[in-house]
Amino acid sequence: MSSGRGTGMAVTPLHEWFTRSAEAHPDRVALEAADAVLTYRELRSAADGLAKALARAGLKPGDRVALLARRSPMTYAGYLATLLAGAVVVPLNPAFPEARNAAVTARAGARTVLDDGALSPVLPPSPGTVEADTAYILFTSGSTGTPKGVPITHGNVASYLECNIRRYRAGPGDRLTQTFDLTFDPSVFDMFVSWGSGATLVVPTPEDVRDPVGFVTRRGITHWFSVPSVVSLARRMRRLTPGGMPGLRCSLFAGEQLTTDQASAWSVAAPASRIENLYGPTELTVTCTGYQLPPNRARWPGTANGTVPIGVCYPHLEHVVLGGDGSRAAEGELCVRGGQRFGGYLDPTDNIGRFVRFDPLDDRPADVVDDVSVTPDFWYRTGDRVRLTDDGGLVHLGRLDAQVQVHGYRVELGEVEATLRGHPKISDAVVLPNDTELRAVYTGAPSTTGELSEWLHRRLPAYMIPRRYHHVEVLPLNPNGKIDRRGLAAMTLPPT
């Protein structure tokens, strides 16, 4: 595989962004988490100690370490220690089912599990397929029922950090939030835009996230980053008081479509803050586009679907919008290449059909790559449908497949369906999205909601569990002989 950089320039490894700040600002605060306050000197010392422990345990450069991603100081030290040891971080969410974490650990070929500073060997490790400079591997929902591993290299992240530290003018004295779980790639922005600039990373509790105004004002936050649904939750709980965050300078949102209504509510609470809508799949390293709303509310753009535009790609990336025939179009699938584009999935068979060959100087339509190999000139197919705006920006219109976002997490409906079909009483199943929740329709023996939900909770993360279950004798078909998902959606909508 290739990282897709193609620049020939020296790459700053992810951990060196932290090390440089630790050398320049040893006594500044690097991390506030779980009531602990650590300076750069103290966090570096903890990370160095863990890195030596990993080496004593036989860890070698390129080995993978499964990191139980708790919101504790030792978890952050463990993340840095793994990188310092030349190994690859594989974050695991401790709230996910043990069976799923075990499967991810095995698929990643992790040699060691690191939990709050304690090491546990995993035998036998499997080699997998990663590039030599891989920094971390994240697992996303897979349409076949198996999570897909996405290796991201130090080169991919270097391109991203160089752009974003400049873009948001972060530096010593700034205080950035860490609302995202470490299994969710915007957490890389949180950690390394902070540590790469000498700023402080401030880790909120779940209650803090539900009360952003209180958290921002109590902790002196200058840069906020979260999923847009946090805005809706805080507003429902009446915790977005007008003018309540006067010191907030920068507000970033990603992971879901940001609506103009959400942005408006946030701007009232943070009148001095720039508000940006960011977009990007894991395969393109956190985010790859951004749109900053004008300070003057009267100049905000209007879109047909009521969402804030996602803007334009970062300057070091290329993008093209391709129609159904593979030609350039004003509306179609967004495809991207450049330094942030990953080099291919952990399982190379997942690469098939996910890339295209396209020459922007040629009028010929793009060719879908039906091969496992990936080269730097290929464009990654995001699967997202976008529309070009008059000024060359982009508006996100939705997905071209059965993938949805639930509270910012990427969910392949096929994975939930495949897991449901494994239930001994279920013959077939269809999962449908409805705003921020999922609904399931199934055939087979009728079961209770509690029974099905409990069964799924042992196998899937909570955000992938349907809230409603509907039993039918037969799944209806449309005239083409396919399952009539639209008809099922209308049939199962809750009454208004």
pLDDT at 125 over 60: no
Contact 152, 99 (CB under 8 A): no
What pLDDT sits at residue 94?
94
pLDDT at 416 over 70: yes
User: How far, in Å, CA of 283 to CA of 156, rounded?
Assistant: 10
Contact 157, 135 (CB under 8 A): yes
What pLDDT sits at residue 484?
79
Percent of the chain with pLDDT over 90: 75
What number does CATH give the domain 312-399?
Answer: 2.30.38.10
User: Mean per-residue pLDDT for 491-496?
Assistant: 60
Number of H helices, E strands in the chain: 13, 26
Of 175-179, 438-442, 480-484, least confident by mean pLDDT is 480-484
10 pLDDT band (50/70/90 cuts)?
Answer: confident
**What is the full DSSP assignment across 257-285?**
PPBHHHHHHHHHH-TT-EEEEEE--GGGS
Question: What is the topology classification, in CATH, of domain 14-299?
Answer: Rossmann fold (3.40.50)
User: Mean per-residue pLDDT for 232-248?
Assistant: 92
Higher pLDDT, 122 or 19: 19
What pLDDT sits at residue 400?
83
pLDDT at 462 over 50: yes
7 pLDDT band (50/70/90 cuts)?
Answer: very low
Distances (CA, A) of 214 to 36, 246, 248, 467: 19, 12, 12, 30
Of 195-209, 237-251, 339-353, 397-411, least confident by mean pLDDT is 397-411
The 10s digit of each residue's pLDDT in 466-475 is 999 999 888 8
What pLDDT sits at residue 8?
52
What pLDDT sits at residue 307?
92
Number of residues assigned to the chain = 496
Sketch the domain layout of the chain as residue ranges. 14-299, 312-399, 403-492
User: How far, in Å, CA of 230 to CA of 236, rounded?
Assistant: 10
pLDDT at 171 over 90: yes
User: Mean per-residue pLDDT for 88-103?
Assistant: 94
What pLDDT sits at residue 145?
64
pLDDT at 48 over 70: yes
What pLDDT sits at residue 181?
93
Give, for 419, the enclosing helix (H) or strand (E).
helix 413-421
Mean pLDDT, all residues of the chain: 91
pLDDT at 2 over 60: no
Q: Spelled out in words, what is the top-level CATH class assigned to the domain 403-492?
A: alpha beta
User: Mean per-residue pLDDT for 243-272?
Assistant: 95
User: What burial class does residue 346 get, using C-beta atoms within 10 Å of its C-beta: 0-12 exposed, 13-18 middle, 19+ buried?
Assistant: buried
What pLDDT sits at residue 6?
43
403 pLDDT band (50/70/90 cuts)?
Answer: confident
Contact 409, 433 (CB under 8 A): no
What pLDDT sits at residue 121?
84
Q: Are strands 200-202 and 403-406 parallel, antiparallel or unpaired?
A: unpaired
User: Mean per-residue pLDDT for 106-110?
Assistant: 93
* Residue pointed to by tokens 């290739």: 2
124 pLDDT band (50/70/90 cuts)?
Answer: low
Of 10-14, 65-69, 358-362, 406-410, least confident by mean pLDDT is 406-410
Distances (CA, A) of 314 to 311, 318, 357, 426, 447: 9, 8, 21, 46, 49
User: Mean per-residue pLDDT for 238-267?
Assistant: 95
Phi, psi at 485, each rounded to 5°: -65, -35
Higher pLDDT, 413 or 478: 413
Q: What is the pTM of this model?
A: 0.85
User: Mean per-residue pLDDT for 432-439?
Assistant: 82
pLDDT at 481 over 80: no
The 10s digit of each residue's pLDDT in 264-303 is 999 999 999 999 999 999 999 999 999 999 999 999 999 8
